Chain A
Amino acid sequence: MIELKNITKTYELNKNDKVVALDNVNLTINEGELVVLKGASGSGKSTILSLIAALSKPTSGEVIVDNKKISKLPDNFASVYRRDNIGFIFQKYNLIPTLSVKENIILPLVPLNPPANEIVEKLDRVAKMFNISHKKDAIVRNLSGGEQQRVAIARANVNDPKILIADEPTANLDEKLSLNFIEILRELKALNKTIVIATHDPLFFDLDFVDREIQVHNGKIIL
C-alpha cells in the first residue's frame, strides 16, 4: 500500500551546508499494518512520515501510495490527498490554541463545505470515540496535555482516513497518558487502519498488536 523507493531527502540549511535526512531508503508498508519506526532524534523517522503524508517532497526517489506517485503531486493535489487519506498526529499536536475543541476537530472538513448534519455526525463520532465529548466547547489552550492529544487524535480521524501517522505521540505525556494512547492505538488498529508511528519511547516496543518495528539510524533503515 505504501512504498518508498530509493528515497533520498536532503535539507539545504544554506549554500554550503546540507543535511542528508534520508539516504536511499526503501520501505514497504502493507494495508492494515501497524509499523513503529524506532530511532534517536534526528535519525530521519519524522522525515519518512512527512514524505508519506506528502508534507514534503523527496530530493530523489518515489513515494507510492495505493499505486499513486504522491511524491510528484502538485501542491493542491497533495493537500487533497492528505485530506482524503491521511490522519496526522503531530508531536506538539499542532492544534490552534485559541479555537475550541469542536472547531479544531472539524477543521479538516471546513474546505469540503459539507451539510451541517454531516459535520455534527462526524464530530460526535470522533469526540465520543476519543472521550472528549464533555470538552467540545472548551478552548484548546485551557486543556491538559492528554486532553489536547485526544483532540489531535480526533481531528486526525474526523475524515476517517485510511492511513494514520503519529510523530512522537507520547513525547509530551506522562506514562499513564502514554499507556492510554497505546490503548487508543489498539482500537484504531482493530478498525483496520494502516498506522505508522515514529517514536523512541520504549513503551511502544514489543507490543502485541504492532506488526513491525523498523530501526532508523542516520537516515538509513537498519534491517
Chain B
Amino acid sequence: MKNKINVYLIEYAINAILRQKSKSFFIVFVFTLLTFLLTSVFFITNSIRYELDSTVDTLPQIIVQKIKAGRHYDIDVDAVDNILEIAGVSDAVARVWGYYYFANAGVNFSVVGIEQYENQYKNSFDKIASKFDLSEIDSKVSMVVGHGVKETMHDSYYKEYFNFIKPDGTLKRVNIAGVFEADTQLESNDVIVMSKDTIREIFDIDESKATDIVVKVANPEEIPMVVSKIKLIYPDTRIISSEDLKVSYQNIFDYKSGIFLALFIISLFTFFIIIYDKSSGLSSEEKREIGILKAIGWRVDDVLKEKFYESFIISFFAYTLGVGFSFAYVYIFQAPILQNIFVGYSQLKTSFELPFIFDLQTLFLVFFLSVPIYIAATIIPSWKVATLEADEVIR
C-alpha cells in the first residue's frame, strides 16, 4: 500500500507543466532539438562507421602502382607474371579502372573493368559475376552501375545507355545492363563496372598496360614480406597494403567525425547552459509555491517527488520526441544537410543510403546525457528551498 504510485502527485505535476505553458513549451522545444541533434550525430556516425568497416573488409591486400615523377602511371601487365612467382602470392590481377567526369551532374564516377575468367578480389564483384553474364556484357558493350550512378544518369535522361566521351573526342555508347548490388553503399554507389576492353577504349589504355595490380597473399602474416619483395623487383612502384588503406580511410572518417564532434560539443554546451541556468535558482513564484506546500503539510520528499515527476515527464517526453525525429530524419529522410558532410569520398557527390543500425548504447548514452541531468537540475534547487523553514520561504 505504501509503495502505491501517488496518482494525485503525478496529476499535480502534469498540471504544473500545463500551468506554465510557454515556459514548458520552450523547455520541450530546446530539449527536443538538442536530443535530436545529439542522436542524429550518433546515428549518422554509427551508420558511416558500419559502412567504413564493411568497405575496409573488402579492400585488396596489396595494390601495386607505377610511379613516375611522383605521379601514378599505367603499369605493364607483364608484371603480373613476375609477381605471381613470388612465394606466398596466391593471385595477382591487373586492374583497369579510372574516374569518369559526368559533366551534367558535376560528379566523378569510378569505372572498373572486370573479366569473367579472372579470380575476383572483391566479394562484391563476385556477386556481379554470379548475377550477370559477363560475356554478354562484353559482347553487347554493356555496363553494370551503382545506385547513385543510375539515379544521376536517370536525372539526365540516360536510362538505357550512356555515351562516354573518349580522349580523341569521339563517343562510345555503352548500354546499362543492370544495377550493381554490393555489400556497402559507400563503396558501390559511384561505381560503374564494365569489361576491361570497353574501359581501355573509353580511357585509351593500351592492351599491355593496366591501372594497377592487386595481389592476394594466402597468409596475411606474409603481406609485409611480399610487399618488400615486390619493391625489390619494381623499385619504381608504390605498394599500398590493406593496412595503409585502412589508415587512410580512417583518417578521412576521423576528419569527418571531427565536424560532427564539433556539432556534438556545441549541442552539449548549449544544453549545459540551460541546465546551469535552471539549477542556479527558482523564481520567486516557484519558491513561494514550495513554501505553501510545506506550510500545508507536504514533506520535503513529497515536494521532491512532485518535482521529479514534473521534470521526468517533461524531459522524457522531449527525449522521446527528439529520438523519434532523429530516427525519421536519419533513416527515413536520409539526413539531408548533415549527410552531405560525409558524401564526398573520392570527390563524389552521388547519394548513398545510411544503413539502419539499431544501437541501444547510443539511445542510453543520449538518455543519460540529458534526462537525469535535467531532473537533477530541477530537483537540486527545489531541494534547497524545500529544506528551508516554510515560514522563511513564504515570507
Contact = CB atoms under 8 A, between A and B. Distances in A.
A53 B390 CA distance: 10
Given A107-B293, A155-B296, A98 B19 contact: yes
Interface string B379-395: 00000000101111010
B389 A111 contact: no
Nearest to B388: A75
A26 interface: no
A213 interface: no
Interface string A53-96: 10111000000000000000001100110111010101000111
Contacts of A53: 295
Contacts of B301: 76
B364 to A, nearest CB: 32
A110 B9 CA distance: 6
B228 interface: no
Interface in A100-155: 103, 106-111, 113, 119, 155
Given A94-B295, A111-B302, A103 B389 contact: no
16 contacts: A55-B389, A55-B394, A79-B297, A79-B299, A80-B299, A83-B296, A90-B394, A94-B292, A96-B292, A99-B15, A99-B19, A107-B293, A107-B296, A110-B6, A111-B298, A111-B302
A166 to B, nearest CB: 13
A: contact size bracket = 20 to 34
Contacts of A88: 295-296
Given A56-B391, A76-B299, 20 more contacts: A55-B394, A75-B299, A76-B301, A79-B294, A79-B297, A79-B302, A80-B299, A82-B296, A94-B292, A94-B394, A98-B19, A99-B19, A103-B15, A107-B293, A107-B296, A110-B8, A110-B298, A111-B6, A111-B297, A113-B9
B297 A76 contact: no
A113 B8 contact: yes
Nearest to A87: B296
B300 A50 contact: no
A83 B300 contact: no
A95 B292 CA distance: 8
B289 interface: yes
Contacts, number: 80
B295 A83 contact: no
A76 B383 CA distance: 13
Contacts of A103: 12, 15
Interface of A: 50, 53, 55-57, 75-76, 79-80, 82-84, 86, 88, 90, 94-96, 98-99, 103, 106-111, 113, 119, 155, 159
A82 B295 contact: yes
A186 B378 CA distance: 44
Given A90-B394, A111-B6, A111-B9, A80 B389 contact: no
Interface of B: 4, 6-9, 12, 15, 19, 288-289, 291-302, 387, 389-392, 394
Nearest to A79: B299
Contact of B297 (A56, A83, A94): A83
Contacts of B4: 113
A55 B390 contact: yes
Central interface residue in B297, B299, B301, B387, by most chain A CB within 10 Å: B297
Contacts of B12: 103, 110
A65 B149 CA distance: 87
B312 to A, nearest CB: 17
Nearest to A158: B296
A79 B298 contact: yes
A107 B290 CA distance: 12
The 5 closest A-B pairs by CB, nearest first: A83-B297, A55-B391, A56-B391, A111-B302, A79-B299
A82 B293 CA distance: 11
B296 A108 contact: yes
A193 to B, nearest CB: 17
Contacts of A98: 19
A75 B387 contact: yes
Contacts of B299: 75-76, 79-80, 111
Central interface residue in B7, B8, B298, by most chain A CB within 10 Å: B8
Contacts of B7: 113
